[in-house]
Structure 1
Amino acid sequence: MDLCRRFGLNVKNVRVAAGHTQEELADLAGVARSYMSDVERGVRNPTLKVVERIAKALDIHPAKLLG
């Protein structure tokens, strides 16, 4: 599995466990909901800044989303 797909699945799993919708997480991370959907499906290659913002919104270390 490639890194973008793995990252997206990890984001989705943490988001669901935290009880957030895609829209809520997108708002917390400062990205569009459609962008968050693309990230979770592994079709976007987010920058490190976006990875950091998503991790902060989920209150998790960025490395946890990449592994």
Structure 2
Amino acid sequence: MIDKKFGLILKKLRTAKGISQENFALNTGLHRTYISQLERGLKSPSLRTIGKICGELGISLVRLMEYLEQER
């Protein structure tokens, strides 16, 4: 359940910034298929990966957790 919520939030934030999966992957040093798997809730990211994602999105870890708490 939390993996799906995380994926939805990631996709919303990434697309709101107008960043493609490919560019997002390049900028975070992650593989595009991994980003896709995260967004579909198929994978669970490590804390290190979440940190990279937050850095690219320009948000804090705390803000990301707030988004997760708010998602229904």
TM-score by length of 1: 0.90
* Equivalence map 1:1-67=2 (5 Å): 2-66=1-65, 67=68
Q: Runs of 4 or more off by more than 4 Å in structure 1?
A: none
- How many aligned positions are there? 66
TM-score by length of 2: 0.85
Structure exhibiting the larger radius of gyration computed from Cα positions: 2
- Deviation string 1:2-33 (CA, Å, 9 cap, x unpaired) is 11111111010000000000011111111000
Identity value in percent = 35
User: Residue 27 of structure 1 aligns to which amino acid in structure 2?
Assistant: L
Aligned-residue CA RMSD (Å): 1.0
User: Residue 39 of structure 1 aligns to which amino acid in structure 2?
Assistant: L
- The runs of 5 or more residues in structure 2 that have no matched partner are none
